[in-house]
Chains A and B, each alone.
Chain A
Amino acid sequence: MALSRAEAARIAELARLHVPEAELDRVAAQLSQVLDFAAALNELQLGDEPLTAFAPADAPLRIDGPDGRTLDAEIATANAPEAEAGFFLVPPVVEDLEP
């Protein structure tokens, strides 16, 4: 199936991934090529196959409690592009907070 330029732009928005205007057509064409290829799955006539449940049925459970491991806030924020006093800094999310 051919993906339109507008659909490609919409997917980029959903993925929070900026795609420059000039690249949208190319992206749409490349995604369309892979989706066309994926249409081969129709040949398998999969109607009633169950969905794969890939987690092992006997997946181990651990006790849902603290295990004594901690990550210090200074270490956790050490790799951040902007951090202050153990907090990640981001642009204002809520505006007009005048009391």
Chain B
Amino acid sequence: MTAVETWRRSARSVAEEVRAGRITAEAAAEAGFEIPAARWERDVHAILSTDRSARAHAAAEAPKQAVLSGVPVLLKDNLCTVDHPTTCGSRILGEWRSPYDATVVARLRQAGAVVVGKGNMDEFAMGSSTEFSAFGPTRNPYDLARVPGGSSGGPAAAVAYGLVPLALGSDTGGSVRQPAAFCGVLGLKPTYGRLSRYGLVAFGSSLDQVGIFARHVGDVADAYRVLAHRDPFDASMREGGAPDVSTWDAGVKGLRFGWPANLWREGVDQAIVEALERAAGWLERAGAQRVPFEFLPGTFAVATYYLLATAEASSNLARFDGVRYGFRARSDELGSLYAHSRGEGFGPEVRRRILLGTYALSAGYHDEYYLKAQRARTRIVREYAAAFARCDVMLLPATPSLAFKLGEKTDDPLAMYLSDVFTIGANLAGIPGLSVPMGLAASGLPSAVQLLGPADSEPRLLQAARALEAEGRSDKIPRGYEREFAWPGK
């Protein structure tokens, strides 16, 4: 058997090799930089910061007999790290260095993972294409004229091109699931309150969740197992233990999957509709049962979200005032120092959302916008509860289109917002969602489907994704190469 190059391996198999002493943690961490990054990073621009000595130090420190020993991980740049700057893709933080690691980062390190750097993102996670990064866009490794999705576009693209087998992002309205779909990798948004957010720079606190990117379902399960633990520093966490995901490969016999076909009757790319049909067929063949029903169109969720998320953002981002961090505009009067530091330090989309949120919360408009959106959120929560009374998981698109072109939506905020039409509902309802790659469409771009389930249904989502992974793989990859992943075309 030909030895599989380290950078092509799953996180699970890298950790096995490191635990057995067949490869060092440093060699495992460098593997992605030696071949794939040398080939792709200049064009793709997934990384915002990395350096070899920090990687070597992290690899040396990593425990060598743990679940993720030696597994290189790229972090979205809104997760605080002591050994790399944390920019949030913004100019306003400058070269800000966190005095502490985010809890999820500390957990990764304790589990043996090696943080190799920070990934590009839309500024403060606001955007769906990574074009709103103050440090330039990330491009889709499958087609450099197209976006990788966003806001966690850097980590998604890095996992796709082979830099790392595992990455963390954050998902406030789809910012893990949408880029995962555009880049052909798995993207999990866990149940609200399952992963600590201590050290995740806040955007919309009732919606934000840390999410996981990987190329293999087993790797998502391993990372979830490491990360989903209570944290006394995050008061929004769920009580009780996280669900047991060790059953990720237990199959889908008897699973009822919801099929809300009214959602894709129009406005969804044909390639995605075909991927849905294929996924449903595979799930049925593996013993699952399709439950058709109608579901509330996602446009209501988008409308609700852009009032609530912006209101929360306008409050959360008030802390960036030019006094305590990074960028400060020159001024000899405090009010003007605030206004100019924020006006010059924030990019266009962040300014737009702060203004929209300020308006939704302002006297005279609060009832009409913010309170109405809160009531709409209750309705959406109930819609999901009713759906999950009839099925265990729902199968639906992750995105209405395949990866779109750079520049296509940057001047049309509403069109950009609507690219999250299938992902936002899960954030509003606090439920988990998983983007599952379904191979390449005829255009050569990745296509994907999404699975949603009720709170704490992560094991079911992974079981269904595993069924799709096993079926898809049998078509494309010869037996014995399960640990290898397909190199992006071209």
Contact = CB atoms under 8 A, between A and B. Distances in A.
B362 A16 contact: no
Contacts of A14: 358, 362
- Could you say which interface size class chain A belongs to? 35 or more
B124 interface: no
A55 interface: yes
Looking at chain B's contact residues, the main secondary structure is helix
A2 interface: no
A50 B372 CA distance: 10
Contacts of B376: 41, 44, 46, 49
A63 to B, nearest CB: 10
Given A34-B306, A91-B331, A56 B99 contact: no
A43 B396 CA distance: 24
Contacts of A50: 375, 378
Contact of A40 (B94, B303, B333, B340): B303
B303 A17 contact: no
Contacts of B323: 80-81, 88, 90
Contact of A55 (B230, B236, B331): B236
A47 B387 CA distance: 23
Given A41-B303, A76-B99, A79-B96, A17 B343 contact: yes
A12 B237 contact: no
A27 B352 contact: yes
Given A15-B314, A18-B340, A90-B334, A79 B325 contact: yes
B299 interface: yes
A91 B413 contact: no
Contact of A34 (B325, B344, B417): B417
A14 to B, nearest CB: 5
Nearest to A50: B378
B102 to A, nearest CB: 15
Interface string B304-333: 101100000010001001111111100111
Nearest to B234: A60
B368 to A, nearest CB: 9
Contacts of A30: 352, 413
A75 interface: yes
A97 interface: no
B343 A38 contact: no
Contacts of B206: 52, 54
A97 to B, nearest CB: 15
B374 interface: yes
A44 to B, nearest CB: 6
Contacts of A92: 332, 334
Interface string A56-90: 10111110000000010001111111100000101
Contact of B321 (A16, A19, A54): A16
B299 A40 contact: yes
Given A8-B355, A27-B351, A90-B323, 9 more contacts: A34-B413, A37-B306, A41-B304, A41-B376, A51-B375, A55-B236, A71-B99, A76-B99, A80-B325
